[in-house]
Chain A
Amino acid sequence: GNSVTQMEGPVTLSEEAFLTINCTYTATGYPSLFWYVQYPGEGLQLLLKATKADDKGSNKGFEATYRKETTSFHLEKGSVQVSDSAVYFCALSDTGRRALTFGSGTRLQVQP
Protein backbone atom coordinates (compact mmCIF):
# COMPACT_ATOMS: atom_id res chain seq x y z
CA GLY A 1 0.00 0.00 0.00
CA ASN A 2 0.89 3.67 -0.16
CA SER A 3 2.76 5.35 2.64
CA VAL A 4 4.43 8.67 3.39
CA THR A 5 7.18 9.14 5.94
CA GLN A 6 8.08 12.54 7.33
CA MET A 7 10.77 13.62 9.74
CA GLU A 8 9.71 13.81 13.36
CA GLY A 9 9.05 17.20 14.84
CA PRO A 10 8.99 19.65 16.30
CA VAL A 11 11.50 21.54 14.25
CA THR A 12 12.56 24.73 16.02
CA LEU A 13 14.36 27.42 14.05
CA SER A 14 15.29 31.03 14.44
CA GLU A 15 13.86 33.56 12.02
CA GLU A 16 15.72 33.69 8.69
CA ALA A 17 17.12 30.19 9.14
CA PHE A 18 17.06 27.62 6.32
CA LEU A 19 14.33 24.99 6.52
CA THR A 20 14.29 21.42 5.29
CA ILE A 21 11.54 18.95 6.13
CA ASN A 22 12.23 15.51 4.74
CA CYS A 23 9.52 13.43 3.08
CA THR A 24 9.81 10.04 1.41
CA TYR A 25 7.06 7.92 -0.04
CA THR A 26 6.10 4.45 -1.16
CA ALA A 27 3.51 4.11 -3.90
CA THR A 28 2.57 2.08 -6.93
CA GLY A 29 2.57 3.83 -10.25
CA TYR A 30 3.27 7.53 -10.53
CA PRO A 31 1.70 9.47 -7.71
CA SER A 32 1.17 13.18 -7.42
CA LEU A 33 2.85 14.73 -4.41
CA PHE A 34 1.69 17.55 -2.18
CA TRP A 35 2.65 19.64 0.79
CA TYR A 36 -0.20 20.91 2.94
CA VAL A 37 0.11 23.37 5.82
CA GLN A 38 -2.09 23.61 8.89
CA TYR A 39 -1.88 26.82 10.89
CA PRO A 40 -2.99 26.68 14.54
CA GLY A 41 -6.72 26.15 14.84
CA GLU A 42 -7.28 26.04 11.09
CA GLY A 43 -7.88 23.53 8.33
CA LEU A 44 -5.37 22.32 5.78
CA GLN A 45 -4.21 24.51 2.94
CA LEU A 46 -2.40 23.31 -0.12
CA LEU A 47 1.10 24.78 -0.07
CA LEU A 48 2.54 23.28 -3.24
CA LYS A 49 2.31 20.28 -5.53
CA ALA A 50 4.17 18.27 -8.17
CA THR A 51 2.56 15.82 -10.53
CA LYS A 52 5.50 14.11 -12.22
CA ALA A 53 9.13 13.27 -11.71
CA ASP A 54 11.55 16.23 -11.62
CA ASP A 55 8.71 18.74 -11.25
CA LYS A 56 9.40 21.47 -8.74
CA GLY A 57 6.49 22.86 -6.79
CA SER A 58 6.88 26.30 -5.26
CA ASN A 59 4.78 28.79 -3.32
CA LYS A 60 5.42 31.55 -0.75
CA GLY A 61 9.17 30.88 -0.83
CA PHE A 62 8.74 27.16 -0.20
CA GLU A 63 9.99 24.62 -2.74
CA ALA A 64 9.95 20.86 -3.19
CA THR A 65 11.23 18.71 -6.05
CA TYR A 66 9.68 15.39 -7.02
CA ARG A 67 12.60 12.92 -6.98
CA LYS A 68 11.51 9.57 -8.36
CA GLU A 69 14.94 7.96 -7.99
CA THR A 70 14.99 8.61 -4.25
CA THR A 71 11.17 8.61 -3.82
CA SER A 72 11.44 11.90 -2.00
CA PHE A 73 9.71 15.29 -1.91
CA HIS A 74 11.61 17.35 0.64
CA LEU A 75 10.26 20.77 1.58
CA GLU A 76 12.71 23.69 1.70
CA LYS A 77 12.63 27.39 2.41
CA GLY A 78 15.62 29.66 2.37
CA SER A 79 14.57 32.03 5.15
CA VAL A 80 11.72 31.19 7.51
CA GLN A 81 9.54 33.71 9.30
CA VAL A 82 7.62 33.51 12.57
CA SER A 83 4.43 33.39 10.50
CA ASP A 84 5.58 30.07 8.98
CA SER A 85 5.02 28.34 12.32
CA ALA A 86 2.55 25.57 11.55
CA VAL A 87 2.25 21.84 10.97
CA TYR A 88 3.37 20.68 7.53
CA PHE A 89 2.01 17.52 5.93
CA CYS A 90 3.46 15.66 3.00
CA ALA A 91 0.88 13.70 1.02
CA LEU A 92 0.45 11.65 -2.12
CA SER A 93 -2.36 10.71 -4.44
CA ASP A 94 -2.01 7.82 -6.84
CA THR A 95 -3.77 6.98 -10.08
CA GLY A 96 -5.97 4.29 -8.64
CA ARG A 97 -7.20 5.92 -5.50
CA ARG A 98 -8.20 9.52 -5.17
CA ALA A 99 -7.88 9.83 -1.45
CA LEU A 100 -4.74 11.43 -0.10
CA THR A 101 -2.26 9.43 1.96
CA PHE A 102 -0.66 11.73 4.50
CA GLY A 103 2.56 11.67 6.43
CA SER A 104 2.38 12.16 10.18
CA GLY A 105 3.00 15.90 9.97
CA THR A 106 5.95 17.98 11.14
CA ARG A 107 5.46 20.88 13.49
CA LEU A 108 7.63 23.90 12.71
CA GLN A 109 8.24 26.51 15.37
CA VAL A 110 10.03 29.68 14.29
CA GLN A 111 11.36 31.92 17.03
CA PRO A 112 12.00 35.63 16.60
Chain B
Amino acid sequence: DTAVSQTPKYLVTQMGNDKSIKCEQNLGHDTMYWYKQDSKKFLKIMFSYNNKELIINETVPNRFSPKSPDKAHLNLHINSLELGDSAVYFCASSQGTSGSYNEQFFGPGTRLTVL
Protein backbone atom coordinates (compact mmCIF):
# COMPACT_ATOMS: atom_id res chain seq x y z
CA ASP B 1 0.00 0.00 0.00
CA THR B 2 1.73 3.11 -1.26
CA ALA B 3 1.18 6.05 1.09
CA VAL B 4 1.92 8.86 -1.37
CA SER B 5 1.89 7.97 -5.05
CA GLN B 6 2.70 10.02 -8.11
CA THR B 7 2.15 9.45 -11.80
CA PRO B 8 3.94 9.36 -14.07
CA LYS B 9 7.35 8.45 -12.67
CA TYR B 10 9.09 9.73 -15.80
CA LEU B 11 7.89 12.37 -18.22
CA VAL B 12 9.79 13.39 -21.34
CA THR B 13 8.26 16.10 -23.49
CA GLN B 14 9.01 18.89 -25.90
CA MET B 15 9.26 22.58 -25.11
CA GLY B 16 5.95 24.37 -25.37
CA ASN B 17 3.83 21.36 -24.45
CA ASP B 18 1.36 21.21 -21.56
CA LYS B 19 1.62 18.35 -19.08
CA SER B 20 0.16 17.21 -15.77
CA ILE B 21 1.51 15.26 -12.83
CA LYS B 22 -0.86 13.55 -10.44
CA CYS B 23 -0.47 12.86 -6.74
CA GLU B 24 -2.60 10.85 -4.36
CA GLN B 25 -2.19 10.07 -0.67
CA ASN B 26 -4.04 7.42 1.31
CA LEU B 27 -2.83 8.54 4.73
CA GLY B 28 -5.88 10.65 5.53
CA HIS B 29 -3.72 13.77 5.74
CA ASP B 30 -5.22 17.19 5.28
CA THR B 31 -2.22 19.01 3.79
CA MET B 32 -0.39 18.30 0.55
CA TYR B 33 2.65 19.88 -1.09
CA TRP B 34 4.60 20.12 -4.30
CA TYR B 35 8.38 20.46 -4.14
CA LYS B 36 10.84 20.90 -6.98
CA GLN B 37 14.30 19.31 -6.87
CA ASP B 38 16.75 20.77 -9.33
CA SER B 39 19.77 19.15 -10.94
CA LYS B 40 21.92 20.02 -7.92
CA LYS B 41 19.48 18.20 -5.63
CA PHE B 42 18.21 21.43 -4.06
CA LEU B 43 14.60 21.08 -2.85
CA LYS B 44 12.22 23.99 -2.76
CA ILE B 45 8.55 24.28 -1.89
CA MET B 46 6.25 25.30 -4.71
CA PHE B 47 2.72 24.96 -3.40
CA SER B 48 0.78 23.70 -0.41
CA TYR B 49 -2.90 22.90 -0.03
CA ASN B 50 -4.83 22.35 3.18
CA ASN B 51 -8.25 20.73 2.76
CA LYS B 52 -8.34 21.79 -0.89
CA GLU B 53 -7.41 25.38 -0.07
CA LEU B 54 -4.17 26.91 -1.38
CA ILE B 55 -2.08 28.05 1.58
CA ILE B 56 1.41 28.39 0.14
CA ASN B 57 2.19 29.71 -3.30
CA GLU B 58 5.88 30.43 -3.68
CA THR B 59 7.41 32.50 -6.43
CA VAL B 60 6.52 30.07 -9.16
CA PRO B 61 5.70 31.05 -12.77
CA ASN B 62 1.97 31.14 -13.36
CA ARG B 63 2.49 28.47 -16.01
CA PHE B 64 2.32 26.13 -13.00
CA SER B 65 -1.17 25.57 -11.68
CA PRO B 66 -1.95 23.18 -8.85
CA LYS B 67 -5.39 21.68 -8.50
CA SER B 68 -6.81 19.80 -5.54
CA PRO B 69 -10.13 18.08 -6.31
CA ASP B 70 -10.25 16.64 -2.78
CA LYS B 71 -7.90 16.49 0.15
CA ALA B 72 -6.40 13.18 -0.99
CA HIS B 73 -5.32 14.49 -4.39
CA LEU B 74 -3.08 17.31 -5.54
CA ASN B 75 -2.27 17.60 -9.21
CA LEU B 76 0.22 19.88 -10.92
CA HIS B 77 -0.43 21.21 -14.39
CA ILE B 78 2.33 22.94 -16.32
CA ASN B 79 1.67 25.01 -19.42
CA SER B 80 4.13 25.96 -22.14
CA LEU B 81 6.96 23.86 -20.76
CA GLU B 82 10.45 25.33 -20.81
CA LEU B 83 13.89 23.74 -20.62
CA GLY B 84 14.34 25.12 -17.10
CA ASP B 85 11.33 23.16 -15.89
CA SER B 86 13.36 19.96 -16.14
CA ALA B 87 13.61 18.67 -12.59
CA VAL B 88 12.25 16.06 -10.22
CA TYR B 89 8.91 17.04 -8.73
CA PHE B 90 7.96 15.59 -5.37
CA CYS B 91 4.54 15.46 -3.83
CA ALA B 92 4.24 15.22 -0.05
CA SER B 93 1.54 15.16 2.59
CA SER B 94 1.25 15.83 6.31
CA GLN B 95 -1.32 15.96 9.05
CA GLY B 96 -1.91 18.80 11.47
CA THR B 97 -3.11 22.34 11.38
CA SER B 98 -1.14 23.93 14.19
CA GLY B 99 2.22 23.84 15.84
CA SER B 100 5.56 23.31 14.26
CA TYR B 101 5.61 19.52 14.21
CA ASN B 102 5.16 18.72 10.60
CA GLU B 103 6.34 15.27 9.52
CA GLN B 104 5.89 15.06 5.80
CA PHE B 105 5.62 11.90 3.76
CA PHE B 106 7.01 12.07 0.24
CA GLY B 107 6.06 10.40 -2.98
CA PRO B 108 8.66 8.71 -5.22
CA GLY B 109 9.01 11.76 -7.46
CA THR B 110 8.33 12.52 -11.11
CA ARG B 111 11.38 13.17 -13.26
CA LEU B 112 10.40 15.71 -15.90
CA THR B 113 12.71 16.20 -18.88
CA VAL B 114 11.94 18.98 -21.32
CA LEU B 115 13.69 18.68 -24.68
Interface residues, chain A, with chain B CB atoms under 8 Å away: 29-32, 34, 36, 38, 42-46, 49, 51, 87, 89, 93-95, 97-102, 104-105, 107
Is residue B68 within 8 Å, beta carbon to beta carbon, of the partner chain? no
Residues of A contacting B31 in the complex (Cβ-Cβ under 8 angstroms): 98
Interface residues on B, range: 20 to 34
Tell me which of A29, A30, A49, A107 contacts B103 (CB under 8 A): A49
Listed in ascending order, the chain B residues whose CB lies under 8 Å from chain A are: 31, 33, 35, 40-45, 48, 50, 55-56, 90, 92, 94, 96, 99-109
Q: A94-B100, A100-B102 are in contact. List 9 more A-B contacts (CB 8 A).
A: A32-B101, A44-B92, A46-B104, A51-B101, A95-B100, A98-B55, A99-B33, A100-B45, A104-B40
A89 and B56 contact, Cβ closer than 8 Å, known pairs A95-B100, A98-B31, A100-B104: no
- Which of A38, A44, A93, A107 has its CB near the most chain B CB atoms (within 10 A)? A44
How many residue pairs at the A-B interface have CB separations less than 8 Å?
66
| Given A87-B41, A99-B48, A102-B43, A46 contacting B100 (CB threshold 8 A) | no
Q: Which residues of B contact A32 (CB under 8 A)?
A: 100-102
Question: Are B107 and A51 touching (Cβ within 8 A)?
Answer: no
A70 to chain B, nearest CB (A): 19
Do B48 and A98 touch (CB < 8 A)?
yes
A36 to B107, CA, bound (A): 13
Chain A contacts for B42, CB-based, 8 A: 102, 104-105
